[in-house]
Each structure stands twice: as C-alpha cells, then as structure tokens.
Chain A
Amino acid sequence: MISLTVNGKRHQIDVQPEMPLLWVIRETLGLTGTKYACGMALCGACTVHLDGAPVRACVTPASAAAGKRVTTIEGLSDKGDHPVQRAWTEVDVPQCGYCQPGQIMSAAALLTSTPSPTDADIDGAMSGNICRCGTYQRIRAAIHRAAALGKGGAR
C-alpha cells in the first residue's frame, strides 16, 4: 500500500510501486486531466506538482510520490481561476487542448519560483512541453499576462 496525498486528499493505494504516478492518477483515482502522450518525459503532457515542483508523472514511480503532496490540474484551483488559467482564457490559448493541463502546470510552477519571468525564463521552463497545435506564441503571452494577474495588477 502506498500513501498519497492528491489535491489535498489522502489515499491508500494498492498498486505496484514501480507503476508510474500517471496511471495512479488517471486510472486508480480517475483524475483524467493529467495526460499521457509519450511515456518518456519527452513532452510534458503529464506534468503534475510534487511538493510544489513540476514533475513528469509518466516516469515518476508511484512509490516516489509516497508521503508527498501531489497536485494535478484538477487541484490547481477550486474554480479554474488560478492566474494562469485566467490568462489562458483571456488569450484563448488552447486549440485541441490535450497538452494544456501539462502546459498550465509547468507555467504555474514557473510563476511560483519566478513571479516575473523573462522570455528566456519561459523558454527554460516551458521547452519540455510540446504542443502539436502550435499554441506557443499564446502560451508565452499568457504567462506574461498571468504574471501580471498574479500580482493583482493589470486588469
């Protein structure tokens, strides 16, 4: 049994310890917002926060998350109103949307560590997240916008 705290809720889970956290989240807990796309930490679609830091759930064994706080896209905000989510809405970032939970989790982690990121900061933090629809220009704009929203400014 592995003890996990996901989005503030504690779970006792009976899975093989090497099973990636991604499948625990998606299949055992039914939180399908976190996506599978490569299984090798190459695309970022499965990004979640482990004790606040972004990790790729597809290569993180469930056992590595034991006793830690896991935050998924479903737990990022109560009403979908995290500054990153508000900015994503204003800028109309998503197209197909499949990669966006991962993009948003990466962006939220970036803004926690770097509240006013430069373009270079954004490149550094976001280049692990692939978007095949090509929403990168809007992601960049929305992160700058979220930085402003996060400071309570620029309405």
Chain B
Amino acid sequence: MTTLVSRRTLLKGGLAVGAGLAVGFPVVRAARGVARAESPGVFAPNQWLRIDRDGVVTIVNSVPEMGQGSLTTTPMIIADELDVVLDQVRVEQAPANPGLYKNPVTGNQSYGGSRGVRDHLAMWRKAAAAAREMLMQAAASEWAVPVESVETEPGAVVHRPTGRRLLYGQLVDRAQALPVPQDPKLKTPDKFRYIGKHVHRRDTPEKITGRGIYGVDVRLPGMLVASIERCPVLGGKVKSFDGTAAKRVRGVKHVVQVSNGIAVVADGFWSALQGRKALQVTWDEGPTAQVSSAMIAREYEAAAKQPGQVARNDGDAERVLAAGGRVHEAVYQVPFLEHACMEPMNATAQVTPEACVIWAPTQNPGGTQATAARLTGLPPEKVTVHTTLLGGGFGRRGEVDFITDAVETAKAVGAPVKVMWTREDDITHGFYRPATYNSFRAALDANGMPAAWRTRMVGPGILIQKGRVKAGEVDPAAVEAVRNMPYDVPNLRIEWTNKDFGIPIGFWRSVGASQNGFIIESFIDELAHLAGRDPYEYRRALLGKSPRHKAVLELAATKASWGAPLPPGRGRGIAVVFSYGSYAATVAEVSVAADGAVRVHRLVAAIDPGLAVNPDQVKAQMEGGVVYALTATFYGRITIDRGRVQQSNFNDYPMSRINEMPVVDVHILDSGEAPGGLGEPGVPTVAPAVCNAIYVVTGKRIRTLPIDREELKRV
C-alpha cells in the first residue's frame, strides 16, 4: 500500500510545495493551521499570525494567489496593524479548513467576487491589532508600567520614558498567557506604514525565475500523469470504451473510467496524450446534443417578445411607453465566453483508505476539500488541500470538476496522480459566461431625458443552474448592473427570463456586470445621442442619486480631457459601472480604419475602490481588466454546434496581444469609503467605452459582441 507523502519528504525532494523556502521572501505553501499555539514558545493569538521566540513572524494568507496579489496584500494589512517589518515576515498559504479560514462574509472558503480585501480587511486588522495589544500588555507587565505608557515600533514594544525596549520575540511566552482582547484598538490611517503605499509584490522573485509552483508543476515521488478524454458533447457520458490499444502505448500504465470521461494514466503527459489518441470510446451524448447556437438565439429572441419576471419596477414604464412620443428600441446580444486561464485546469491527488491529499490551483479550497471528502467517503479533516499558485483564475477555478478528475483517477489507480487538461479540453469543457439577448425600449421626455425605460433580458442564470438560487426566482447574477443601474429614470422596468439549454455556465471575471455594463452603458449612450446631448453630460445629469458614480465619471472625463480636440479620425467614448463594491469609469480613444479595423489608442480609467491598499496593484488590476475586456470586445465568442463547443485553442478563440495594447492610464479616487473589490471592476466599462467611441467615429452602433469588423468597413 502506498503511504502518503509527507510534507517533509516533499521538501527533501526539492519539490514544489514549499520551494519558496529558499528564496528571499519565503512563501511556505502549507500551513499547519493552528488556532491557538499548542507548541511552547510560539505566540499565536489566532489563526492568522504567529511569532516565535526568535521573533520570526508568520502570516497565514487564506486567499489563493491568482494574480491579484494576495500574497502581498494580506501580509501588508496584517503586518501594518501588528507593527512588524513586512520584508521580514513569512507567509503561509492557508490549508483547507473552513472552520478557521472561511470568508467571514460568504461563510465558505472559496474566493471569487473580488472578495479578498473587501471581506477580510476588518477581520485581519482586528486579529493583528489584538496581537499587538497583547504584546504591549506583556511588555507593560514585564516593566510594571501602565500599558498606556508603552507603544510599538516595528517588531518591538518600547517604553519611551525609560528608553526600555523588548523585541516581540522576547515577549512571546508572556503574551501567550494573556487573554485575547475582543475589541482591540486599531491604528488610525495616518499611522499606516504599508496600507495605502506602493509595496512591491512579494511573489515576483519566484515568478520571474521559474521557481514558483503552479498546479501543473507539482511533482511527487511515484506520481503518474493523466489526461482525460471527455465527451465532445457537453454533459455527455461514456457508454462504452476500449482501452486495449491505449494501454499498448509506451508509458501508459492505466486506462480507467471516471465521472468526466476516460482517464489515460501514464508516466508523463506526452505518453498520456498518445494513449488518449488510441482510445476508442462510444458516448451517450445526452440532451445537449440537440443544442446549437442558432437555436439558442432563436429561442432567446422569441422569449424576449414575452414579458419576463420582474426584477425591478419603478413607476409605470409600460404606460408611459404605450403613450408613444420619442420611443427608442434596441437589441443587445453577447455570446458565451470561456475563461482561458493561461494554466489549463489540473489537480494532483493522492488517496489512501485513511487520507487524501490534494495539490491544486484552486480558488475554492473549501469546495475542494468537500468534494474530495464526498468522493472518498473520508471526513473533511482527513482531506488535506495544498493551494498552489494559480495560473489565472477569473472564476473558472472556483469550480471543482478538475478536483473530481484528480481524486477519482488517483483513487482508481492507487498512486498519486496529476490530471492535466489540454488547452482544447479547457476551451471545450468550460463553465461559460452566459450568452444573453436583451431588448430595450425607452421614451424620452420633452427635454430628451428618459421618461420610461424597459429592459427585457433573456439568458440562463448561473446561480440557478448551480442550485444556489431557486428556479423561478430572478437570478441576481443575471441582472447585476442592470437591476441596480444608477440612472435616475422615473419609470423603470427590468424583466428577466431564464432560458437555460444546459450549457454549463459559470462566473467569468465580473460575471453579469461584464456584459450588462456593455448593454446599459451603450443604450444610455444611444439615448444621449438621440437627445442631441453630450454623452458625458447626459450621464451626469442622470446621476443625481448616485454621487460615487458621478465622481468617478467626472474623474475619468477630466483626466481624459473630455471634449478637447483629438487628432482627425479619433473619437472618445465613456462608460461608468458599479461592480463588486467599486465604482469604475473609462474613457476610450478609438479610430477605425477603412477596412473596419478598430484601434484603441488610449483608455483612461478611474476607480473608486473605497480604500486602495496597494495603489500600484490597484492599477495593475485595472490594466489587467482592460485587456481581459478587450479580448471579449474584439474576439471572444464560444459557439455551440449539436452540443459541441466549436472553438478549441488560441487560433480559433483568440486573445488580445501586446501589439493591440492601448496606453492605459488609471486614476484612483480615494473616497475613504468601505473597501471594494478590484479583480473585477476594471472589466465592465471597457466594451461600452470602446463601442461608444466607435459610434462617434463611424456613426455605427455596435449592439452585438464581439465587434464584427465587416460592419465597420467603409466601402
């Protein structure tokens, strides 16, 4: 019987997990997860930090590092409030243990929705402040002085009147014996050393040398590598298979059936792929084999002719629209999209009768643990999850399908197995951003302002498909950024119809807002032009009840010199969207060539995230959101033919590249409000700002994404 590989063995083997130990900024990827130090000589007032007698501070980061900078931001916040030198702290990635590490807002140990800082900031600050207060109390009692007379400087408690000083490491034993204060005093923002300052990312050294360990890089003694042949039809199952020829392929060790297909298990990925080619599988294609994009589009269009469920109803839009006057109609459509994380899906598992260990690039350690517990029959505490670096997440890695792959395959073959997806597997078996159809109808009053507005949305609901919202209700993810659109319209009606054809759907960077920002901000732009008003001033006039939208819109417009002359052939477009706790506005500068090719020259973005913990990384997230959104604006489209995804790799599902990158200027509005998210809010404004600029340049209104260059050709 195989025995579980211990963490010690891994480290000795020079392996992956924990390889960061050797580098300047130690990033240890497996925490012990102590709630309160059992071991003597360690001060651990809570699960987030501990200090040993040598003064070594260890901070536990519960948020997976998927590019957003959590390995930097989390320790910044805790080190600041604890008052220690950031460069000297060690960082551990939290294990799966929802009891200790769950997000206090969502109640689960899964990370999406740009929730890293905004949901944890208050809790982390309090945890660190409690520790600092205990260290101060320990020093005060050591010196027999009132605690009010001591203070801290990085890594030490000092008593200024007498010049005495004790390092945190010297106070460990005394502090450990003290009760944890429930209501510690937090630093005032003027005392912050790190929060709000430009701090370089701590994970850069491992990411520029190839030392950083992603899921695909995990290597274990005796590990096999598997590739899974999946039904080309989404949701299809294996009917029968013949693995004889596959098993004859050099390096192939096992061919086993798992939930998601047939796993070819080999001594390496290349051998597994060769084995896969030799497989013979008969599929039960299931009902999705009847579904194609053209059929979905027809069904959506038909559904939009009927009233939907009411998601919002102010005044009486139908009555005002029926009265006629200046009524304007438009239809907006967006396609399915795949996340295309650079690191294809993968996970590594080892399963024995007693325990299960998983190494995975997951946004969802809690769900990973629960999934493995369900599949193995083990209690969750017998399932250890090591969260590696993630080569992109964008919502795709909150799913657990690739965890199922690894656990089932490893269990079947009795050896540690890494299941790796090809790019083709990744594109053809995703959880797609929903395709939707949206019809708009608005009536303008005598001043050209919208007197009534109706939006009918048709598409599937992510939360309903995943069973998190009851069928029959309005799916909040489907209507976000529409139901709460900020413009002051007296008669406003939003309807939604759930049309789900069984295509797996999921959370795609900024989710509903990613597409709804486009439809709302394009349609309001249409109304502005119809009214003969400046699109920026028109929005401003309608944002009286939404001061944060207005402020961020004004900042973007000012920084983009809205209204100032541009070189011939260029035009500007603007958009503003609230999502994931933050307000974002973008001004795009665009030109369109005679052949219809669009060039985005410059994007000026403004963001009000409440609090910018690391301003340079706020900018990085906005820059990244721009590129993610530009890909969707110009290229992104997943189509379905008889249940099969027709795209497969970057040739037919292209990505924006450096030669198309506009100059991006990001401006942060420090509103001092509660912290908002940053991973997602950079996305929703980009497509509408670009398309609104295209309208200014060409007079053509883009109502379907991705942009069809043929439509913009000038003959």
Interface residues of A (CB under 8 A from B): 16, 19-20, 23, 26-28, 30-40, 42-43, 45, 72-74, 80, 85, 88-89, 92-101, 104, 122-124, 126-140
Q: Which residue of B has the minimal Cβ distance to A90?
A: B200
Contact call A89/B210, Cβ cutoff below 8 A: no
A138 to B67, CA, bound (A): 14
Question: For the complex, is B216 an interface residue (Cβ under 8 Å from A)?
Answer: yes
Contact call A16/B250, Cβ cutoff below 8 A: yes
Other than the given A73-B209, A92-B616, 14 more pairs (CB < 8 A) read A32-B16, A32-B217, A36-B216, A39-B649, A42-B651, A89-B200, A94-B204, A96-B389, A97-B207, A100-B207, A126-B657, A129-B657, A136-B661, A137-B663
Chain B interfacial residues counted at CB < 8 A: 63
A126 to B656, CA, bound (A): 12
Contact call B200/A95, Cβ cutoff below 8 A: no
Q: Which residue of A has the minimal Cβ distance to B666?
A: A137
The 6 A-B pairs of least Cβ separation, nearest first, read: A33-B210, A134-B627, A98-B391, A97-B207, A96-B67, A95-B67
Q: Mark B228-266 against chain A: 1 for CB-CB distance below 8 A, else 0.
A: 000000000000000000000010000000000000000
Question: For the complex, is B659 an interface residue (Cβ under 8 Å from A)?
Answer: yes
Contact call B208/A35, Cβ cutoff below 8 A: no
- List 28 A-B residue pairs with CB atoms under 8 Å apart, sorted by A's residue number: A23-B270, A27-B269, A27-B270, A32-B216, A40-B423, A40-B649, A43-B650, A72-B210, A89-B200, A92-B616, A93-B208, A96-B343, A96-B390, A96-B393, A98-B214, A98-B389, A100-B207, A104-B208, A122-B658, A127-B659, A129-B657, A130-B342, A130-B650, A132-B342, A133-B67, A137-B623, A137-B663, A138-B623
A44 to B499, CA, bound (A): 39
Contacts of A26 in B (CB 8 A): 217
Contacts of B214 in A (CB 8 A): 35, 98
Contact call A88/B211, Cβ cutoff below 8 A: no
Contact call B650/A89, Cβ cutoff below 8 A: no
Name B624's contact: one of A28, A33, A134, A140 (CB within 8 Å). Answer: A134
A74 to B66, CA, bound (A): 22
Chain A contact residues: over half helix, strand or loop, or mixed?
loop
Contact call A39/B423, Cβ cutoff below 8 A: yes
Known: A16-B250, A32-B219. A37 touches B342 (CB 8 A): yes
Known: A38-B649, A136-B658. A95 touches B624 (CB 8 A): yes
Q: Which residue of B has the minimal Cβ distance to A123?
A: B659
A85 to B269, CA, bound (A): 29
Question: For the complex, is B704 an interface residue (Cβ under 8 Å from A)?
Answer: no
Question: For the complex, is B184 an interface residue (Cβ under 8 Å from A)?
Answer: no
A85 to B206, CA, bound (A): 11
Question: For the complex, is B185 an interface residue (Cβ under 8 Å from A)?
Answer: no
Contact call A35/B67, Cβ cutoff below 8 A: no
Name A123's contact: one of B203, B340, B341, B658 (CB within 8 Å). Answer: B658
Contact call A85/B208, Cβ cutoff below 8 A: yes
Question: For the complex, is B443 an interface residue (Cβ under 8 Å from A)?
Answer: no
Q: Shortest Cβ distance from A85 into chain B, in angstroms?
A: 5
Known: A32-B217, A40-B649, A72-B210. A92 touches B620 (CB 8 A): yes
Question: For the complex, is B474 an interface residue (Cβ under 8 Å from A)?
Answer: no
Contact call B208/A100, Cβ cutoff below 8 A: yes
Contacts of A97 in B (CB 8 A): 67, 203-204, 206-208, 212, 389, 391
Chain B, range 1-58, C-beta contacts under 8 Å to A: 16
Looking at B204, B621, B627, the one whose CB has the most chain A CB atoms below 10 A away is B204
Known: A95-B624, A140-B658. A40 touches B342 (CB 8 A): no
